[in-house]
Amino acid sequence: MTSHFESNQPTSARRLSRRRWLAAIAWMLPLGTLQAAESVAITGGTVVNANGDRWEGTTVLLSDGVIQDVGAEVEIPYDATVIDAEGKTLFPGMVLAHTSQGLDRANENNSVTPFVNVYDALDPSSLSFEDALRAGVTTMHVIPGNNCVISGMSRIVQPHGMTVEAMTVRPEGGLKISISPKNGFNRMTQMAELRKALHELEQHVRETAERLYEEEREKQDKKVLVPPEDAIEKGMELVEVNDLDQRWQTLFRWKNGELPVYLHCDRASDLLRGIDWVKSLDLLERTTFVVGGETHKVAAALKATGRPVVLPGNLIYRETDPLTGEESETFVPKVFADLGISFALQTYGGSMGEGFLWYQAARLVREGIDRSVALQSITQWPADTLGLGQHLGSLERGKDGNILILSGDPLDQSTVVEKVLLGGVVAYERENDRRLKELLTGDEIPDEGSAADGEEGTGS
């Protein structure tokens, strides 16, 4: 059936529309559909690794998507696909450890929604994924926003693929909980809602345990001869996650230590309260702290936990002295770096500098932070934060072949991403980026074969 839109266009225009649509979604094709060789050798480039090491004239050899060797004298298999990177820089794919990009909305209206899953809201055709790949981000942890009490399940993805399944690196990233009050709440209300949710979870589990125990006795043709509390205690051994109402399953798994939590703490007092709270639940070891700028004042307490940290996208904290009215600024990463705390950087805003991980890292260097810290904050450390440090974050043997081929140094403002490899497969090439060409030139780039289509349309 021809659509109304198509029926009002000449044949050549309809064909051109189809071509433009196919070109627009080509970047989203799952990696399995791309032409991947068993072996790929990227030769002659300068490797800049996550720790700042720099190696000239280096070859990176990949097999089945995994890095097999990195060095100046690497034996290249005869059947390998060779990518010439002479004069280029090879850098690990950047990792964005915390973002709501790709979701149709960051937060739900309800305060407690542990049953939601970003899977249901991810849009593979979102331009934010295309932009991320173009900017050198190869792994994204898509998670609900901070304006919540308890929100739902996150997902770790690659910004490439036509379906959520094709994009997925890990289907369950973790749960989002906020200690800092959501809009319209004060801090007492926020903590009251948290306690209420955990109390309701406990009550539901207890009721389920008692029911399961009674059902088990019934199967055995036996009567329940114990008080309710004893029945609940015996039934606890029978409770499995699928026995619970779906509303509580994710929260139950986190409470049992099966899932990590990303705990948002915007202010210094929130962070201290958050540390105490997860300690009281014996869940500190499953916690990543997503902090605000003011938390630099109690960074030492955070260091003592030894837990991963995601810094705010706005790297500068400003405050005004209530007595003098004098305004002061603190470059937040410097405080954490000086204490030896590893951290992951976030982006901030849209298309301006803060919207790019490389820019955020470059700001660290400008503010006197060691270059190796800056590089690791957008590669290895966020990969570690996500529990993927053995697979991502650096260019070394045994890690996934997520590699950027850059025109220059990764922190240089003039550098561009020329190619992106995901699992050893070329997923992005700047020279074939039609949307970017049209943006930079202001001209509409004709489709391959469009001239012939036009001639056919003119002659018909």
**pTM for the structure as a whole:** 0.87
8 A C-beta contact, residue 213 and residue 232: yes
State the DSSP string of 266-279. -SHHHHHHHHHHHH
CATH number of the domain to which 54 belongs: 2.30.40.10
Question: Considering the domain boundaries, does residue 449 fall inside one?
Answer: no
What the block records as the tokens of 339 is 């204490």
pLDDT of 27 reads 42
Same domain, 120 and 72: no
pLDDT of 447 reads 62
8 A C-beta contact, residue 60 and residue 42: yes
Same domain, 225 and 191: yes
Question: Considering the domain boundaries, does residue 170 fall inside one?
Answer: yes
Same domain, 82 and 123: no
What the block records as the tokens of 348 is 């901030």
Question: Considering the domain boundaries, does residue 440 fall inside one?
Answer: no
Question: Considering the domain boundaries, does residue 350 fall inside one?
Answer: yes
Q: Tens-digit pLDDT profile for the chain (460 aa)?
A: 333 333 333 433 333 344 333 444 444 444 443 444 589 999 999 999 999 999 999 999 999 999 999 999 999 999 999 999 999 999 999 999 999 999 988 888 899 999 999 999 999 999 999 999 999 999 999 999 999 999 999 999 999 999 999 999 999 999 999 999 999 999 999 999 999 999 999 999 999 999 999 998 888 888 888 899 999 999 999 999 999 999 999 999 999 999 999 999 999 999 999 999 999 999 999 999 999 999 999 999 999 999 999 999 999 999 998 888 899 999 999 999 999 999 999 998 766 889 999 999 999 999 999 999 999 999 999 999 999 999 999 999 999 999 999 999 999 999 999 999 999 999 999 999 888 877 777 777 666 544 434 433 333 3
Pairing type for strands 137-142 and 94-99 reads: parallel
- Compute the distance between CA of residue 284 and CA of residue 280 in angstroms, rounded to an integer: 9
pLDDT of 202 reads 97
Residues 6+ apart with CB under 8 A from 137: 93, 94, 95, 96, 159, 357
Domain containing 261 equals: 94-391
- Compute the distance between CA of residue 20 and CA of residue 26 in angstroms, rounded to an integer: 10
Same domain, 46 and 108: no
Q: Considering just the CA atoms, what is the radius of gyration of the chain in Å? A: 26
What the block records as the tokens of 325 is 């009215």
Instruction: Kindly report the number of other CB atoms within 10 A of residue 347's CB atom.
Output: 22
pLDDT of 351 reads 62
Pairing type for strands 287-291 and 309-310 reads: parallel
Query: Which strand (E) or helix (H) includes residue 54?
Result: strand 54-63
pLDDT of 442 reads 76
Question: What's CA 355's distance to the chain center, in Å?
Answer: 14
Question: Considering the domain boundaries, does residue 445 fall inside one?
Answer: no
pLDDT digits (tens, 9 = 90+) for 244-298: 999 999 999 999 999 999 999 999 999 999 999 999 999 999 999 999 999 999 9
Question: Considering the domain boundaries, does residue 15 fall inside one?
Answer: no
pLDDT of 23 reads 43
Question: Considering the domain boundaries, does residue 9 fall inside one?
Answer: no
pLDDT of 106 reads 87
Same domain, 411 and 387: no
